A and B are shown apart, each in its own frame.
Chain A
């Protein structure tokens, strides 16, 4: 398939645009102090999206970093491990959300039945 912009495939372009959007939004929040998240977390979000932006427009960066770090082809293993960690965090988050959800229901039930218990 012909590239939308010569040298940049369509999926890389979309990824780049999405990451620019998220970066701008996050930076806007930081500047306007319109966010309740802590500074390290804000920084983390900015770094992740900046990284995605970098890799989408300059994919060779990954190879250069890999060589500099002495990882060689092991970078794939590192990325795979990253995915596993992300999924583990996701499951932990779902578990926590479900627990909060159950507690909320229990609280609402107690409040609803308060009148009957008197």
Chain B
């Protein structure tokens, strides 16, 4: 008897001005055993798109204008869906996330979970204190607004089943996207599990422009309330 085909796993990497490190991020993902990679260049002003396109086997798509991380992730998920993905994993393009965690996420989806949330706060060793506080406040707000408690509502390292992809409907293009996914999990009664993930806080990722700041956090909170 033939064994069932392994699920088609696609990794979505949204990027914005990551020309310096895009090659190393992609090659690290590929060497961890996942070759289906979608890179979404969110209107970078550097050569990120050109560099990503030159990497063999990578599906590189580009936003003509910068639309925000949430918009880039959604474009990437749509690209993966068009390519026939059974499982979609999203991860940041600045090299913070360790691709070694992908296989655990895929296994948990294969075991029947709809969504797997990578959590930086399950083990926050090495995480800057202000980030821990910032994230905990974010979790509390998400809990109050959407009625679901998760340990890391702002994490971009997540995995989705085919069913979850078809049901999740978000409208935010910016950082509120990650919180909206939590709302959708509850609204659609999707099953989810959280796993601790390893995060590498490099000098590059900590100094990068466009990362979440307190000001952006406040704006995100206001947007979440209005929407």
Chain A residues packing against B (C-beta within 8 Å):
94, 101-102, 104-105, 108-109, 111-113, 115-117
The answer to whether A115 and B71 touch across the interface, beta carbons within 8 angstroms, is no
Give which listed residue, A105, A111, A113, A116, contacts B173 with CB less than 8 A.
Answer: A105
Chain A residues near B202 (CB-CB < 8 A): none
Tell me if B67 counts as interface (CB < 8 A to partner A).
yes
> When the two chains form their complex, are residues A108 and B82 in contact, meaning their CB atoms are under 8 A apart?
no
CA distance A108 to B41 in the complex (A): 12
Candidates A94, A101, A109, A111; contact of B74 at CB < 8 Å: A109
**A116 in contact with B64 (CB, 8 Å):** no
| Bound CA–CA A115/B173 (angstroms) | 22
Do residues A112 and B63 form an inter-chain contact, with CB atoms below 8 A?
Answer: yes
Q: B153 at interface (Cβ–Cβ under 8 A)? A: no
A113 x B65 contact (CB < 8 A):
no
**Which of chain A's residues has its CB closest to B43's CB?**
A108
Complex: chain A residue closest to B80, CB-CB: A116
Chosen A-B contacts, 12 in total, with CB atoms closer than 8 Å, are A94-B226, A101-B173, A102-B173, A105-B173, A108-B65, A108-B71, A111-B64, A112-B62, A112-B63, A115-B61, A116-B59, A116-B83
- With A104-B65, A105-B71 as contacts: A113 and B171 at CB distance below 8 Å: no
7 cross-chain pairs, A with B, having the tightest CB-CB distances, nearest first: A112-B61, A105-B67, A105-B71, A109-B75, A108-B63, A116-B82, A105-B173
The answer to whether the Cβ of B11 comes within 8 Å of any Cβ in the partner chain is: no
Nearest Cβ distance between residue A38 and chain B, in whole angstroms? 28
* Chain B nearest Cβ from A99, distance in angstroms: 10
Q: Helix, strand, loop or mixed for chain B's interface?
A: mixed
Chain B interface (Cβ < 8 Å from any Cβ of A): 40, 59, 61-65, 67, 71, 74-75, 78-79, 82-83, 171, 173, 226
B71 and A116 form a contact (CB under 8 A): no
The minimal Cβ–Cβ distance linking A56 to chain B, given in whole angstroms, is 31
List chain B residues, Cβ under 8 A from A111.
64
Shortest Cβ distance from residue B165 to the other chain A in the assembled complex, whole angstroms? 15
| A116 B79 Cβ-Cβ under 8 A | yes
Check A117–B82 contact: CB distance below 8 A.
yes
Chain B residues with CB under 8 A of A116: 59, 61, 79, 82-83
CA distance A94 to B171 in the complex (A): 15
Inter-chain CA distance A112–B49, complex, in Å, is 12
The smallest C-beta distance from A103 to any residue of chain B, in angstroms, reads: 11
Q: A101-B173, A105-B173 are known contacts. Are A112 and B40 too (CB-CB below 8 A)?
A: yes
- B40: A residues at CB distance < 8 A: 112
